Amino acid sequence: WAKADGKNTWAVYDRERNAREVARFSLSARMPAALEREEFYVDYQPLVRLVDRALIGVEALVRWEHPEYGRLGPDQFIGLAEETGLIVPLGKWVLRKACGQAKRWLDRFGDKAPLVSVNLSARQAGEPTFVSDVAMILDAADLPAERIQLELTETAIMATTGAPLEVLRSLAAMGVRIAIDDFGTGYSNLTYLRHLPVHGLKLAGSFMHGMQGRDADPVDTRLVDTVVGLARVLGLEVTAEGVETEAQARRLLEIGCDVAQGWLFARPGPPEEVDRLITRPE
């Protein structure tokens, strides 16, 4: 309906921008109550060992069942939560949920229980009480620290206020595994990485596009090859994210990638879906 003349077009842009601002404001204003009313929930996406596709872990991914807007993904609210600081209680809530679920899997399946990986934002890791909060949450869940992994992007590590290295060292000393998330998308400082107490790298899904059959981009494939080689040198486990096709999975296995995550294996879903994967006959 908008006329093609400049004036009306701008009016439409303005209105859209305004609507976006209102939506952002209403989302962040709603968040504290949403947390209290448990409108958030956690889905789990399987991580499989590439050689035999055994389920070895899951990543906890937060979602928001908004009463008006319906289901929202983290990309629609995590950034806002970081701006307002609500990421701190929200992140704690996710960690508590994930640890509770990890404990149920551990009690029910023992050795077959998946490791549970949880995302952290810079703001959370920079909280002075962060390390003791993690210890308290593990303790309350009666869960060994070895059963969880915390994922941080390189950017988040660099942006952590205080002493990120100390925070990571304390967590690692407790027995918590640390993984660098979205590796290859940030400013990868190899010298720094060498001194971080990390156990694994999660290779960003954006590398997967160039890793397929006829459309394969030789540079992408070699980049992944090189990163896997580098991880080897550093003694790190490599997980490929965003694996959608058999061709990618085959290539990753050839290259020597250890673990994969993606729609080829399973979408994120409720814990019951993970139960079914654990109990399915071989």
Binding positions for ligand C2E, rule: CB under 6 A: 45, 61-62, 73-75, 78, 91, 94, 119-121, 151, 181-182, 205, 241-244, 261-263, 268
For the bound state, the minimum distance from the C-beta of residue 13 to ligand C2E, rounded and expressed in Å, comes to 27
- Out of Mg ion, ligand C2E, none, what residue 154 binds, judged by CB under 5 to 8 A for its kind, is none
CA distance 270 to 61: 10
Closest Cα partner for 98 from 132, 141, 47, 46?
A: 141
Is 45 or 101 the residue whose CB approaches ligand C2E more closely?
A: 45
Is 60 or 113 the residue whose CB approaches Mg ion more closely?
A: 60
- Out of ligand C2E, Mg ion, none, what residue 228 binds, judged by CB under 5 to 8 A for its kind, is none
- Out of Mg ion, ligand C2E, none, what residue 262 binds, judged by CB under 5 to 8 A for its kind, is ligand C2E
Cβ proximity of 90 and 124 under 8 Å: no
Is 82 or 241 the residue whose CB approaches Mg ion more closely?
A: 241
Residue reference for tokens 């459309």: 215
Residue 55, SS3 per DSSP: strand
H helix and E strand count, the chain: 11, 9
- Out of Mg ion, ligand C2E, none, what residue 45 binds, judged by CB under 5 to 8 A for its kind, is ligand C2E
CA distance 45 to 51: 19
For the bound state, the minimum distance from the C-beta of residue 90 to ligand C2E, rounded and expressed in Å, comes to 7
Is 119 or 121 the residue whose CB approaches Mg ion more closely?
A: 119
Which positions lie near Mg ion, rule CB under 5 A? Answer: 119, 151, 181-182, 241
- Out of Mg ion, ligand C2E, none, what residue 144 binds, judged by CB under 5 to 8 A for its kind, is none
For the bound state, the minimum distance from the C-beta of residue 213 to ligand C2E, rounded and expressed in Å, comes to 17
- Out of ligand C2E, Mg ion, none, what residue 100 binds, judged by CB under 5 to 8 A for its kind, is none
Buried/exposed code over 228-249 (b: 16+ C-beta within 10 A; e: otherwise): bebbeeeebbbbbbbbeeebbb
Is 22 or 162 the residue whose CB approaches ligand C2E more closely?
A: 162
Is 43 or 181 the residue whose CB approaches Mg ion more closely?
A: 181
- Out of Mg ion, ligand C2E, none, what residue 242 binds, judged by CB under 5 to 8 A for its kind, is ligand C2E
Cβ proximity of 112 and 61 under 8 Å: no
Is 34 or 243 the residue whose CB approaches ligand C2E more closely?
A: 243
For the bound state, the minimum distance from the C-beta of residue 9 to ligand C2E, rounded and expressed in Å, comes to 32
- Written as six digits, the tokens of 160 are 């952590």
- Written as six digits, the tokens of 2 are 């908008």
Parallel/antiparallel/unpaired status of strands 177-183 and 259-260: unpaired
Closest Cα partner for 107 from 147, 75, 80?
A: 147
**DSSP-derived secondary structure letter, 212:** S
Please give the C-alpha separations between residue 281 and each of 112, 128, 254, 276, in angstroms, as whole numbers.
13, 46, 27, 10
